[in-house]
Amino acid sequence: MHKTFYASGFLYLPQTQQILLQQGMNQTSPQWELIGGMSKKGESAEKAFARIVQEILHLKLPLKHVFPVYERNDGDNKLVILYADVTKAREFKPAKEHSFSWFTRKQVTKLPISSQTLQDIIVGQRVVDAKLRKSLGQHTFE
């Protein structure tokens, strides 16, 4: 029996080390958050995230550029956190109830953001950094 899960993450621009986040526009105190949605039956986390990004941002992500960060449980729901490398910082028009913006690591710490989302981003950035060190031939823990 396949259970659905929530796939959530950010786009990462290696050249500027920025991430793309979304903000709800119809909230009284909008917070910045990861981009995400529910998986469909039989989808891998990477395929689910790529599909969700395509639906929300109209951006096709090659699966070879989508990487898992970690999984966690939120009550009865499984959440999978991912990121995707992109080659250029496109501007994205607001979609439905969300707006989108690129942020540096320093900027992220100053945003109105939940503590859980901040933790997801910090862990994601550590995964990005480890991947970079490994590509440079530097020692990483595995």
Decide: 65 and 84 in contact? Cβ < 8 Å.
yes
- Tell me the average pLDDT across 29-57: 94
What is the model's pLDDT at position 109?
92
What is the model's pLDDT at position 142?
54
Decide: 38 and 51 in contact? Cβ < 8 Å.
no
Which of 44, 48, 26 lies closest to 36, judged by CA?
48
Give the C-alpha separation, 55 to 95, whole Å.
10
What is the model's pLDDT at position 51?
97
Q: Which residue has the higher pLDDT, 119 or 136?
A: 119
What is the model's pLDDT at position 135?
74
- Tell me the average pLDDT across 27-32: 80
Residue 96 DSSP one-character state: T
- Look up the pTM and report it: 0.89
Structural domains present in the chain = 6-135 (3.90.79.10)
